[in-house]
Amino acid sequence: MANASEVAEKAERDDIRSRWLLSAPALLIVFLAAVGPLLIVVVYSFLTPGNYGDVKWQFSIDAWVNVLLERDVFDDTLSLAGAHLLIFWRSVSLSALTTILTLIFGFPTAYFIATRPEGRREIWLFLITIPFWTNLLIRTFAVEEVLRNDGIINSTLQLLGITDHPVQLLYTNFAVLLGMVYVFLPLMVLPLYASMEKIDFRLVEAAYDLYATRFQVLRRIIIPLVKPGVVAGSILVFIPSLGAYVTPRVLGGGTNLMIGNLIELQFGQGRNWPLGAALSISLMAIVMVALLVYVRNTTRLDGDHG
Amino acid sequence: MLRATQPAIEARGVTRLFAGTGQNAIRALDNVSVSISENEFFTLLGPSGCGKTTLLRLIAGFDFPTAGEILLHGQDIAQLPPYKRPVNTVFQSYALFPHMTVAENIGFGLKMLGKPKAFIDARVDAMLRLVHMEALRNRRTSQISGGQQQRVALARALAPQPKVLLLDEPLSALDYKLRKEMQIELKRLQHETGITFIFVTHDQEEALTMSDRIAVMSAGRIRQVGTPGDIYGRPAERFVANFIGETNFLTAAITVTGDCKVRATLQSGATIDATVAEGFQPNGSATIVVRPEHARLISGAGDLSGTVDNIVYFGTDTNIHVHLDGGEAFTVRQQNARSASCGFQRGDRVGISIGNNVAQVLRD
């Protein structure tokens, strides 16, 4: 007869096995859909571009060199790739601005919803999610319609006589920024609301009682307590902003590219798949570094709650 | 009791209406006037929903009266925001800031007032000593016990040296023993700081032990204001007599026999002498009250007579429920002697002796 410890061991082994079995489908999908393609991208980034797209199975680090440097056509010397750096800079700065602006606009919105009486909040949350019902492309084209030279803004300005020729709004960094703020705002509002809703508003009363003015209550009580939501919202907005493709393509025209567009270019007209692959991995690296720096900074300042 | 020339806090005709369903607005406070002296431990006592917390919130500035004035040392503060009132609150839930240490919580008010850091540090140290919490200076408020949180909440509210300290049922979350300790602690703090305390509670025992004066509230009104002795010994109306302590209510026919003195004739025909509050003229029938511990059970004939119905023993005392000959129920409380028995048994014929100045006529 098996003794008790053997029975327990067997039960544990069965338990572990059934856990693996149960999570196997998910693990398989993650592997096939994420890890596999990622490996392919890594491998491609070390190959030579083919003549009509595709790759030649010939090892080369040219793609990685070309991410940051460019070879002079005449004397073969390397210099910094100004165009790429500009696009990297534009991506990072526009994404950072998008994050800051969605935070500025999203914070009061989330506060408003969180302070509504219970039962009304759901209605406001529902309204916040309505834009998700429409395809991103369509929403972006809607913004384009508004910003066009003969769009609502310009025709109104001209009607009022403020300007006699259309102001160039479309195909500018401003247009890209506006589009991204519009698209990503709900992603900021929702996590902000989630942490604001948890605030005990008696703390706000206590702070008022202890001579804190409205501004001080915001700075000393509400913002520190909402910090987990700020961190989550910023991550949710910053990362997809960095990889944004549709918005800069439609609203930035061909001139205000972001990393996503640059990558697409290499796989399309550029016919340089290895460079596209190297750029993709660079983008991931930027995201990871930015994330690490951000999370480390916010948790250090924040102490242990949250 | 020492009375300052000007009250620390005075409410004049304060009414607070809350929007209700239909046309009936809820009258949380109905024309409340009360005056609280400097350095007084004043308690607002009443069941939940009586308006005591609403009155406290009006004084703190979290809410504003629909009508009436709230004066702090003679100045109307009813419309000032909370951060402009030299009044601090100890909240029922403590409401300590979870993202700050004990010391940061205590120093918060002074920091908001723009005091220099050295001053704040010194004051925080003094407050920590006052509430015996020196060792927990740098703890997070989530890492300390309920009783300790209570002390931090007190220290935080006292640190800015308010003119008046408001306490909203601060002891209700503590267990019995800790509550008893904190009651004494609060009395000590009030004595040492010399600050006017306004204390809200629904616990009559707590109110009687701690207060200089008590205002008994019900349905948005103040029913009686007085010292614990006044409130307990000379309740003005049925609500007060009923809410505080145990009481025997007897309906009787009243004949005035002298200044503030009447003779009350019960259903059974028995008569007892009772006192009346000054300026109150009862006529015909009225309710008289006798506290159970003010009556004495005897085996012979007394002022009243009846049969023992039930005997309830609880440690220090025994309650003996008597069925009076007139049909009323009457409870006598007697202190237990060393021998366990109270000397009576169910079914015994007993007399009840009621001394002078014990029975009182209520203003219903």
Q: Both tokens of residue B274?
A: 């009772």
Strand B213-218 to B41-45 pairing: parallel
User: A113 exposed, middle or buried (CB, 10 Å; 0-12, 13-18, 19+)?
Assistant: buried
The terminus-to-terminus CA distance of chain B in angstroms comes to: 29
A208–B97 CB contact, under 8 Å? no
State both tokens at A88.
């990297």
DSSP string, B272-287: EEEE--TT----EEEE
Helices (H) and strands (E) in chain B, counts: 8, 20
With beta carbons under 8 A apart, name residues in chain A contacting B142: 305
pLDDT value, residue B176: 87
Examine the pLDDT at A303 and tell me if it is beyond 60. no
Q: From CA B211, how far away is CA B222, in angstroms rounded? A: 16
| Interface touch A205/B160, C-beta < 8 Å | no
Bridge partners (DSSP) listed for residue B330: B322
Cross-chain residue pair B99–A213, CB shorter than 8 Å = no
What percentage of chain A carries pLDDT values higher than 90? Answer: 52
Domain boundaries, chain B: 9-238, 246-361
Q: State how far residue B161 is from chain A, nearest Cα, in angstroms.
A: 11
Cβ pair B83:A206 closer than 8 A: no
* CA proximity to B160, closest of A219, A209, A217, A215: A209
Phi-psi region of A286 (alpha: psi -120 to 50; beta: other; left: phi over 0): alpha
- CB atoms A206 and B99 under 8 Å: no
Q: Is A205 on the interface with B (CB under 8 A)?
A: yes
3-class secondary structure, A217: helix
The domains of chain A are located at 1-44, 82-302
A221 vs B: CB within 8 A: yes
B99 reaches A (C-beta below 8 A): yes
Bridge partners of B45?
Answer: B201, B216
Q: Tokens 């491609």 correspond to what residue?
A: A44
| Structural tokens at position A222 | 């509400």
Written as one letter, the residue type at B288 is: I
Contacting residues of A for B98, CB less than 8 Å apart: 203, 225, 305
Interface of B with A in 140-159 (CB under 8 A): 140, 142, 156-157
Name the CATH architecture for the domain at A82-302.
Orthogonal Bundle (1.10)
Q: Which residue of A has its CA nearest to B93?
A: A202
Residue A57, CB-side half-sphere exposure with 13 Å CA sphere: 1
Contact call for residues B101 and B140 (beta carbons, < 8 A): yes
pLDDT value at position A119? 87
pLDDT tens digits for range A171-195: 999 999 999 999 999 999 999 999 9
Do the beta carbons of residue B179 and residue B129 sit within 8 Å? no
Chain B residues in contact with A299 (beta carbon < 8 A): none
Q: Does B93 touch chain A (CB under 8 A)?
A: yes
pTM (predicted TM-score):
0.79
Q: In this predicted structure, what is the pLDDT of residue A206?
A: 95
Determine contact: A210 vs chain B, CB below 8 A.
yes
pLDDT by residue (tens digit) across A241-276? Answer: 998 999 999 998 878 889 999 999 999 888 899 999
Q: Assess A198–B contact: CB distance below 8 Å, yes or no.
A: no
Q: Which helix (H) or strand (E) holds A177?
A: helix A173-197
- How do beta strands B67-72 and B75-76 pair? antiparallel
**DSSP symbol at B293:** G
Residue from the list B83, B91, B96 with its beta carbon closest to the beta carbon of A211: B83
Q: Determine the Cα–Cα distance for residues A220 and B99; give it in Å rounded to an integer.
A: 10
Q: Which residues contact A144 (CB under 8 A, 6 or more apart)?
A: A151, A170, A175, A250, A251
From the list B89, B99, B142, which residue is nearest A209 (CB)? B89
The pLDDT-based confidence of A230 (bands split at 50, 70, 90) is very high
- φ, ψ of residue B8 to 5 degrees: the values are -70, -45
CA-nearest of B35, B33, B30 to B9 is B35
Percent of chain A with pLDDT over 70: 97
SS3 per residue for B176-215: HHHHHHHHHHHHHHHHHHCCEEEEEECCHHHHHHHCCEEE
Q: Which helix (H) or strand (E) holds A190?
A: helix A173-197
Which two three-digit tokens encode residue A209?
Answer: 């009682």
Task: Determine, for residues A202 and B91 on separate chains, whether the beta-carbon distance falls below 8 Å.
Answer: yes
- Rounded-to-integer distance, Cα A122 and Cα B285, Å: 59
Classify domain B246-361 by CATH number. 2.40.50.140
Encode chain B (364 residues) as per-residue pLDDT tens digits. Answer: 444 468 999 999 999 998 866 567 788 999 999 999 999 999 999 999 899 999 999 999 999 999 999 999 999 999 999 999 999 999 999 999 999 999 999 999 999 999 999 999 999 999 999 888 899 999 999 889 988 999 999 999 999 999 999 999 998 888 888 888 889 989 999 998 899 999 999 999 899 999 999 999 999 999 999 999 989 988 888 899 989 888 999 888 888 887 788 888 888 888 888 888 777 777 778 888 999 998 988 888 888 889 999 999 888 888 999 999 888 899 999 888 777 677 788 888 889 988 888 888 887 6
Highest mean pLDDT among A7-11, A136-140, B4-8: A136-140
Predicted pLDDT of residue B45: 95
User: What gap in Å lies between CA B352 and CA B332, rounded to an integer?
Assistant: 8
Distance in angstroms (rounded) separating the CA atoms of residues B21 and B35:
33
Q: Output the pLDDT for position A10.
A: 86
Is any Cβ of chain A less than 8 angstroms from the Cβ of B56? no
pLDDT value of residue B340: 64
CA distance readout (Å), A43 to A26, A68, A69, B231, B327: 25, 19, 20, 89, 101
Chain B contact for A303 (CB, 8 A cutoff) = yes
Contact A55/B at CB under 8 A? no
Own/partner pairs for A117-125, CB < 8 Å, 24+ apart? A121/A197, A125/A190, A125/A193
Rounded Cα gap, residues A50 and A267, in angstroms: 11
In which residue are the tokens 């000959």 written?
A: B325
Is the CB of A209 less than 8 angstroms away from the CB of B113? no
Read off the tokens for B221.
């009104």
**B121: DSSP letter:** H
The rounded distance, in Å, linking the Cα atoms of B34 and B14 is: 9
Q: What mean pLDDT, rounded, does chain A reach?
A: 89
Strands B196-201 and B164-168: parallel
CA atoms within 13 A on the CB side of A185: 20
pLDDT in tens, A145-164: 999 888 888 888 888 888 88
B83:A213 CB<8 A: yes
The candidate with the shortest Cα–Cα distance to B261, out of B173, B177, B356, is B356
Nearest Cα residue in chain B from A301: B99
Residue B326 forms contact with A (CB below 8 Å): no
CATH of B9-238, one of 3.30.750.24, 3.30.70.360, 3.30.830.10, 3.40.50.300: 3.40.50.300
Q: How far apart are CA A209 and CA B61, in angstroms?
A: 8
Question: For residues B100, B103, B104 and B110, what is the CA-based torsion angle, rounded to 10 degrees?
Answer: 160
CB contact under 8 A, B98 and A303: no
Within 152-191 of B, beta carbons closer than 8 Å to A belong to 156-157, 160
SS3 content of chain B, % helix, strand, coil (to 5): 25, 35, 40
Q: How far apart are the first and last CA of chain A?
A: 51
Asked if B38 and B4 touch (Cβ cutoff 8 Å), the reply is yes
Rounded distance between C-alpha atoms, residue B37 and residue B317, angstroms: 37
